[in-house]
């Protein structure tokens, strides 16, 4: 087995710039530029792939429970559709910006190409604070957003899915609103919906499960046993809580978990099922008995074998990359590591499984869900999980092969693979007109 390739790609980023640009879209462009350099992409193709294909901004008027009307701002960005329909999640968060959604859409293009799904990339976002909204307000906002973006979504066009602070219920409302508009049930317009309306078995755990499969492979490369390995997880939502549960089933030791209010730490191990039950009651993991309180920053710097960011972007930066002690970082979140932090981590020999590979299990089972919806023929959970395992392990091997071929660290290798696949699709299709 080859050892970890520590060679750093040619610096497109000025080395150790004193201040980092944390704009997610500029970060996504830096990551793309690096791969484009390696692939010696044609300048015209570079211009096309650096820019989203379509950016839609919508005003979403919503009648609040107190009778007043509030207008929310929403976005849907389609980055590229050369390999198939646009695909990507929908995020509700007060800090959503168009540049964040553009970055997340571009990352979806590279992610679907890394795992070789017949999709392009998209993302949606609504600027709102879902924790301060009632269920009725969330439903009315979701349905109006769905109606506003209806002209550019559809099973063959663009297929939304859950992301931060959206879930299966959100997808059910979008599916219903779209279906009412087109006049027939259209389950294939969204994925991550409840099983009762055409969702897939295994979708709710898929991102965490996919992360587990690629970490198992990374452990082989780093010669670490997952059994008994210490794991720290930042973010305890859809993805982070599934990661904790699935890694614990493999006898890894979950030493720390956190959410937006802070974290908890126990070097002897935290029981994820107890943590999930506690969070359901208390709304946070903070205060959970049998573990001491730590901050999110302290969690990232903990001595552990595997660190799993599963919350938001830009948490590992030039500011704290040097303090990271984990041997493997698996990016369950999108965009948690900045390009400058990447350089520091590569020099330290940390194996970073990049987001476009580490969290691709979600979109992979979304693809299975969509394929089941289109055929009206549904699979057992065992079939879903075993197909997911083979997609993730093949993608890991493809990335590992690309590391060896180009002598680069894993993110660069994944980008070279993904950008190469999209560039090939663009080239063979040609430019219209
Ligand atoms: P979620 O809303 O279910 O959970 C987010 C978690 O992050 C919550 O526990 C929240 O408390 C925590 N959090 C929020 N702000 C934080 C902060 N400042 N510090 C620490 N924790 C914070 O969202 P999710 O679906 O689990 O998504 C998490 C990440 O995984 C996102 O980056 C998302 O894009 C990515 N992702 C999700 C999926 C999916 O299938 N849901 C697929 C691929 C990637």
Summarised one tens digit per residue, pLDDT across range 381-412 is 999 999 999 999 999 999 999 999 999 999 99
**Residue 63 falls inside a structural domain:** yes
What percent of the chain has a predicted confidence (pLDDT) above 90?
A: 96
**Residue 278 falls inside a structural domain:** yes
Query: pLDDT tens digits for 289-341?
Result: 999 999 999 999 999 999 999 999 999 999 999 999 999 999 999 999 999 99
pTM of model > 0.85? yes
Q: Which domain holds residue 104?
A: 53-190
Does residue 259 have its Cβ closer than 6 Å to ligand 1?
A: yes
* pLDDT score of 18: 57
Q: What is the arithmetic mean of pLDDT over 158-175?
A: 98
The secondary structure of the chain in percent helix, strand, coil, rounded to multiples of 5, reads: 50, 15, 35
CATH of the domain at 134: 3.40.50.10860
Residues 347, 215: one domain? yes
At residue 10, does pLDDT exceed 50? Answer: no
Does residue 337 have its Cβ closer than 6 Å to ligand 1?
A: no
**Residue 383 falls inside a structural domain:** no
CA distance 106 to 411: 15
Residues 255, 158: one domain? no
Q: How confident is the model at residue 11 (pLDDT cuts 50, 70, 90)?
A: very low
Q: Which of 392, 15, 7, 380 lies closest to 201, judged by CA?
A: 380
* Beta-carbon-side half-sphere exposure of residue 241 (alpha carbons within 13 Å): 15
Query: pLDDT tens digits for 64-121?
Result: 999 999 999 999 999 999 999 999 999 999 999 999 999 999 999 999 999 999 999 9
Angle between helices 24-39 and 410-429 (to 10 degrees): 70
Which of 204, 237, 317, 353, when mutated, tests ligand 1's pocket best, judged by the most ligand atoms within 8 Å of its CB? 237
Output the residue whose Cα is nearest ligand 1's atom 14. Answer: 260
Output the residue whose Cα is nearest ligand 1's atom 23. Answer: 164
CA distance 340 to 336: 12
* pLDDT score of 199: 98
Catalytic, 63? Answer no
Distance between Cα 431 and ligand 1 center (Å):
37
CATH of the domain at 240: 3.40.50.720
Q: What is the arithmetic mean of pLDDT over 10-37?
A: 80
Q: How confident is the model at residue 5 (pLDDT cuts 50, 70, 90)?
A: very low
Residues 172, 71: one domain? yes
Residues 149, 256: one domain? no
At residue 7, does pLDDT exceed 90? Answer: no
Per the CB < 8 A criterion, the answer to whether 344 and 318 are in contact is yes
At residue 189, does pLDDT exceed 90? Answer: yes
Q: What is the arithmetic mean of pLDDT over 152-176?
A: 98
3-state class of 304 per DSSP?
coil
Residue found by looking up tokens 């599934």 in the block: 242
Q: What is the number of structural domains in the chain? A: 2
CA distance 125 to 313: 14
Distance between Cα 277 and ligand 1 center (Å):
18
Among residues 157, 190, 223, the one where a domain terminates is 190
Q: Which two tokens stand for residue 19?
A: 């201040």
Q: What is the arithmetic mean of pLDDT over 152-164?
A: 98
Does residue 369 have its Cβ closer than 6 Å to ligand 1?
A: no
**Residue 37 falls inside a structural domain:** no
Distance between Cα 68 and ligand 1 center (Å):
30
Q: What is the arithmetic mean of pLDDT over 409-429?
A: 98
**Residue 99 falls inside a structural domain:** yes
Among residues 337, 358, 379, the one where a domain terminates is 358
**Residue 241 falls inside a structural domain:** yes
**Residue 160 falls inside a structural domain:** yes
Residues 213, 349: one domain? yes
Residues 302, 247: one domain? yes
Which of 110, 114, 128, 163, when mutated, tests ligand 1's pocket best, judged by the most ligand atoms within 8 Å of its CB? 163
Output the residue whose Cα is nearest ligand 1's atom 4. Answer: 237
Residues 186, 211: one domain? no
**Residue 380 falls inside a structural domain:** no
Active-site choice (53, 87, 102, 123) = 123
CA distance 326 to 306: 5
CA distance 363 to 4: 27
Q: How confident is the model at residue 19 (pLDDT cuts 50, 70, 90)?
A: confident
Does residue 312 have its Cβ closer than 6 Å to ligand 1?
A: yes
Distance between Cα 398 and ligand 1 center (Å):
27
Exposure string of 187-223, with b = 16+ CB inside 10 Å and e = fewer, is bbbbbbbeeebbbbbbbbbbbbbbbbbbbebbbebbe
Per the CB < 8 A criterion, the answer to whether 182 and 219 are in contact is no
Residues 182, 274: one domain? no
At residue 379, does pLDDT exceed 50? Answer: yes
């Amino acid at each position: 087995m080859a050892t970890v390739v520590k060679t750093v790609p040619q610096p497109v980023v000025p080395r150790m710039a004193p201040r980092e640009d944390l704009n997610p879209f500029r970060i996504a462009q830096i990551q793309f530029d690096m791969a484009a350099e390696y692939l010696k992409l044609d300048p015209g193709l570079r211009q096309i792939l650096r820019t989203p294909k379509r950016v839609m901004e919508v005003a979403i008027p919503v009648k609040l429970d107190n009778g007043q009307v509030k207008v929310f701002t929403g976005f849907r960005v389609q980055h590229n559709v050369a390999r198939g329909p646009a695909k990507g999640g929908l995020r509700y968060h007060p800090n959503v910006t168009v540049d964040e959604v553009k970055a997340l859409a571009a990352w979806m293009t590279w992610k679907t190409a890394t795992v070789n799904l017949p999709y392009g990339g998209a993302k949606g976002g609504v600027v709102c604070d879902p924790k301060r909204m009632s269920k009725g307000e969330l439903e009315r906002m979701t349905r109006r957003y769905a109606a506003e973006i209806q002209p550019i979504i559809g099973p063959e066009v663009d297929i939304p899915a859950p992301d931060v602070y959206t879930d299966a219920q959100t997808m059910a409302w979008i599916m219903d609103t779209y279906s009412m508009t087109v006049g027939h049930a259209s389950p294939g317009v969204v994925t991550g919906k409840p099983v009762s309306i055409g969702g897939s078995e295994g979708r709710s755990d898929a991102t965490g499960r996919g992360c587990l499969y690629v970490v198992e492979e990374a452990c082989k490369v780093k010669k670490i046993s997952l059994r008994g390995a210490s794991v720290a997880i930042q973010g305890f939502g859809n993805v982070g809580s599934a990661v904790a549960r699935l890694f614990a089933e493999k006898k890894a030791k979950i030493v720390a978990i956190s959410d937006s209010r802070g974290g908890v730490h126990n070097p002897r191990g935290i029981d994820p099922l107890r943590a999930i039950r506690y969070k359901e009651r208390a709304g946070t993991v903070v205060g959970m008995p049998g573990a001491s309180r730590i901050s999110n920053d302290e969690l990232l710097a903990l001595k552990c074998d595997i660190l799993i960011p599963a919350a938001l972007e830009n948490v590992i930066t030039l500011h704290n990359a040097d303090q990271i002690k984990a041997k493997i970082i698996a990016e369950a979140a999108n965009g948690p590591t900045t390009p400058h932090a990447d350089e520091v981590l590569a020099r330290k020999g940390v194996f970073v499984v990049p987001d476009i590979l580490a969290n691709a299990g979600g979109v992979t089972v979304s693809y299975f869900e969509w394929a089941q919806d289109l055929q009206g023929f549904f699979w057992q959970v065992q079939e879903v999980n075993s197909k997911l395992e083979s997609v993730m392990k093949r993608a890991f091997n493809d990335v590992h092969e690309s590391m060896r071929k180009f002598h680069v660290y894993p993110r660069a290798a994944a980008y070279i693979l993904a950008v190469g696949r999209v560039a090939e699709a663009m080239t063979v299709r040609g430019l219209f007109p």
